[in-house]
Amino acid sequence: MVRVGPISSRAVSRLVVVAGGGGFIGGHLVRSLLASGATVRAVDLKPPGEWQQRFEGAHNRQLDLSTLAGCREALRDADEVYNLASDMGGMGFIERNRALCMLSVLINTHLLMAAREQGVSRYFFASSACVYPVTLQTRPDVTPLAEDDAYPAQPEDGYGWEKLYGERLCRSFFEDFGLATRVARYHNVYGPFGTWMGGREKAPSAICRKVAEAMLSGRHEIEIWGTGRQTRSFLWIDDCIEGTRGLVRSDVAEPLNLGSEELVTIDELVTIVEDLAGIRLERRYDMKAPQGVMGRNSDNTRIRRALGWSPKTPLRDGIARTWSWVYDQVEAQERRGRPTAAFDLGAGASTAVDIRSGGEEAPSLSIVVASRNDAHGGDIGRRMRFFINGLLQQTRRVGLRAELVVVEWNPPEGAPRLHEVLPRPAAHDLLRIRTITVPREVHGRFRHGDTIPLYQMIAKNVGIRRAGADRVLCTNVDLLFSDALADFLARGPFDSRAFYRANRCDVPDELDPGWSVPAQLDFCAGHILRRLGGPQPDVEPWRDREPPPEPPRDPRFSHIRPAPRNPSWRYAAYLRAINLLLRGAETSHRNFQNVMRVALGGAPPDDTPPPPPPRPELPPEEAAYRALDMDACGDFTLMSKAAWMDIHGHAELDLYSIHVDSLALCSAHSLGYRQVTLPPEACAYHLDHPSGWMTLRGVERLRFLERRPGLDFETFRQVALEILRGGSGLKVNPSDWGLLDEPLEEHPL
């Protein structure tokens, strides 16, 4: 056995066939393979319009893999095969359809025969924890099932026998014909884009659906199959894909468990979903419904030793993402009263749309930015292209249907308009882009328009008022969103009574347009100059630590100068040394005084330090002010559109934008919206550049600074405290804030 490395994002292009590519796990596997550079043929019995996910970057085929002819066609010129095709579902399906489950043996048999004929290099078979004897799973406090427990055999009737026979068939093809086969025993894989209704759904999706239906219907009750004390472990889909691909690249020929060891009862699983939904339901237990074995858990000892693999995603985190997705599906169905079907997308993304809607689905997120085609900060056009291309890639990757609203304020005379030069989304992209122009005539009405070419906060208000989604993110055009941040934007969870903040990480503006977006993100992650916002990933202050070691140089970026190390550690270390010297001198002087006092007959001193004075309690508004994450909040502030309307957007002041964005957070907090600061890895990378006015030279800069009207910090702080003390927000905007009554020109890209 060997330990395998991480999946490469630069895989050599080869033809990989995913049998069952229209299903839940198959769809996620297709996305992962495409992202790593493989040529993928996705095959399924269902028409492509009924697939869970469908990717334009793959060769999508509808074939009957229960026939040898269909398998030969599917595997033509294939290098690797992943067999995830079978007729299966949750416990309600497999207990009532044993014969249908058993017939899946034809798929594996004919795929193996065709793989041998084609000279396939690797063949993967998706087995199941249902191969384990039911006699070992009679108690909720089950002993985790190890691979050797499969024999003597007594698997789940029907489905379990088919999987166990499939394993033996793979072993025989390996031993007799030399076909390299790999087998994983999946333990209850779950996540978005899985079956959530219709009878084939598994426990996580079924429970999420039932809770969502209870919420939307107002009937606060839920039916649970069995006693609720049955135990299971559930594996998050991304962990499943990582483990599957790692196993295929390894030399491990025997079956391996691929599951989580986090055991939970069905009742506890219901409680997790109730917590996410914010409700409590009356539970009704159906003892006549299928309930499967009483307990099942995975023993991952062998796969940890062989591959170094363990699942990374805690159950609560994965269920939170699954709940958000399932709730959206249930809500959409309730709203339309119609079924949904898969939508054809680009590589790396998928969603579902109403097959009878006659148009595009409304975006779930509006991203609002303000800009103009000038030389702000050097080359704003270059940074905007990175920003938009990054959004296009990330929305495809995570399946996020979004709109980008670019408010072009005061277009420079003689420069091309933004809608003429910005990157355009392809037809299959999930991101739609439109520009809204605030013309020079409107800009000229502002008193300081000759000094402030772009009123950034008022421009963002223009976008907020015209946003088409229920969630609105105000951000800037010189950012790249990390994978973790994009995942959050797609899957949440999102609370309409909260506002969300993310760290801004400044990175050198040295990205190569020729790099892929994953390569650009890799560069950013390894070249952070400074981080703004909280909570910070490094909790220890610099002064108490050695300077960090130089990160290993990535050969892809060897031609780029290293990012400057944080210069503050040297100065902090100097101050630390001076402080220690002063403490030492003070201690020596005090010790000398004590010795002389005792020698002259005095009493030894009482060295007990006095208790520290009690810290004065801060006024509520001061405590709230200090708790707000206002650093670089103009780069990422997300809340519901209703919340933006509630606070009347950003304050529309005829001033330079500094500090104005922070007033929006104060208003939101004062009106009862809670702050949520995302984890440090969910950050926005900022392409570092000088401020617009810093690019000016000499006397020109001096005159700008002299004339620039801005909100000084002390005034801002007083206003912020007044807002937080008053509890009613900052209502300085007119009723038509965001230039609502202005007929502004729009251009969809």
Strand-pair partners of 501 = 637, 677
Is residue 629 within a helix (H) or strand (E), and if so which, with residue range?
none
pLDDT band at 183 (very low <50, low <70, confident <90, very high): very high
269 vs 222: CA distance, rounded Å:
13
pLDDT, position 558: 41
**Do the Cβ atoms of 747 and 432 come closer than 8 Å?**
no
CATH number at residue 493: 3.90.550.10
Highest mean pLDDT among 18-22, 45-49, 529-533: 18-22
Question: Is the pTM above the cut of 0.85?
Answer: no
pLDDT in tens, 653-684: 988 888 899 999 999 999 999 999 999 999 99
Same domain, 444 and 540: yes
Same domain, 390 and 522: yes
Same domain, 113 and 183: yes
pLDDT in tens, 487-503: 999 988 888 889 999 99
463 vs 370: CA distance, rounded Å:
8
Angle separating helix axes 237-249 and 24-35, nearest 10 degrees = 60
Is residue 183, in this structure, part of any structural domain at all? Answer: yes
**Average pLDDT over all residues of the chain:** 82
Q: Which of 283-297, 356-370, 391-405, 685-699 is the least confident region?
A: 685-699
Domain boundary among 298, 326, 354: 354
Domain boundary among 331, 354, 377: 354
Q: How distant, in Å, are the alpha carbons of 2, 35, 181, 184, 716 from that of 248?
A: 12, 17, 8, 9, 59
Same domain, 272 and 226: yes
Is residue 470, in this structure, part of any structural domain at all? Answer: yes
Same domain, 536 and 669: yes
Q: Which of 432, 435, 400 is nearest to 417 (CA)?
A: 435
Same domain, 416 and 301: no
514 vs 297: CA distance, rounded Å:
46
Beta-carbon contacts of 627 under 8 Å, excluding residues fewer than 6 positions away, are 675
**Do the Cβ atoms of 342 and 352 come closer than 8 Å?**
yes
Same domain, 75 and 196: yes
pLDDT, position 197: 79
Same domain, 409 and 330: no
Is residue 581, in this structure, part of any structural domain at all? Answer: no
Please determine, for residue 699, whether its predicted confidence score (pLDDT) is greater than 80: no
Q: Which of 419, 463, 458, 420 is nearest to 442 (CA)?
A: 458
Is residue 387, in this structure, part of any structural domain at all? Answer: yes
Q: How distant, in Å, are the alpha carbons of 155, 232, 689 from that of 128?
A: 10, 14, 53
Q: How distant, in Å, are the alpha carbons of 90, 180, 252, 296, 371 from that of 302?
A: 26, 19, 10, 17, 55
Comparing 451 with 350, the larger pLDDT belongs to 451
Is residue 573, in this structure, part of any structural domain at all? Answer: no
Q: Span 194-212, mean pLDDT?
A: 86
In the chain, how many domains are there? Answer: 2
Please determine, for residue 367, whether its predicted confidence score (pLDDT) is greater than 90: yes
pLDDT in tens, 552-596: 444 434 444 443 444 444 444 544 555 555 555 555 556 656 655
User: Is 685 among the residues known to form the active site?
Assistant: no
Please determine, for residue 89, whether its predicted confidence score (pLDDT) is greater than 90: no
3-state secondary structure of 436: strand
Is residue 378 within a helix (H) or strand (E), and if so which, with residue range?
none
pLDDT band at 340 (very low <50, low <70, confident <90, very high): very low
Please determine, for residue 426, whether its predicted confidence score (pLDDT) is greater than 90: no
473 vs 366: CA distance, rounded Å:
6
pLDDT band at 544 (very low <50, low <70, confident <90, very high): very low
CATH number at residue 246: 3.40.50.720
Same domain, 261 and 381: no
Please count the CA atoms within 13 angstroms of the CA of 14 that sit on its side-chain side: 14
Same domain, 379 and 335: no
**Alpha-carbon torsion (580, 586, 590, 592), positive or negative:** positive
105 vs 113: CA distance, rounded Å:
12
Please determine, for residue 6, whether its predicted confidence score (pLDDT) is greater than 60: no
pLDDT, position 692: 52
685 vs 726: CA distance, rounded Å:
35
User: Could you tell me the residue range of the domain that residue 336 belongs to?
Assistant: 15-342+350-354
pLDDT, position 590: 61
Is residue 596, in this structure, part of any structural domain at all? Answer: no
Domain boundary among 329, 354, 379: 354
pLDDT, position 505: 93
Q: Which of 646, 641, 674 is nearest to 472 (CA)?
A: 641
pLDDT, position 605: 58
Same domain, 338 and 381: no
**Do the Cβ atoms of 330 and 213 come closer than 8 Å?**
yes
Is residue 142, in this structure, part of any structural domain at all? Answer: yes
Is residue 579, in this structure, part of any structural domain at all? Answer: no
Instruction: Choose the catalytic residue: 123, 159, 455, 673.
Output: 159
Q: Which tokens sit at 464?
A: 């907020």
Please determine, for residue 631, whether its predicted confidence score (pLDDT) is greater than 50: yes
pLDDT, position 597: 61
Same domain, 288 and 142: yes
- Which stretches does DSSP call E strand in 411-452? 431-438
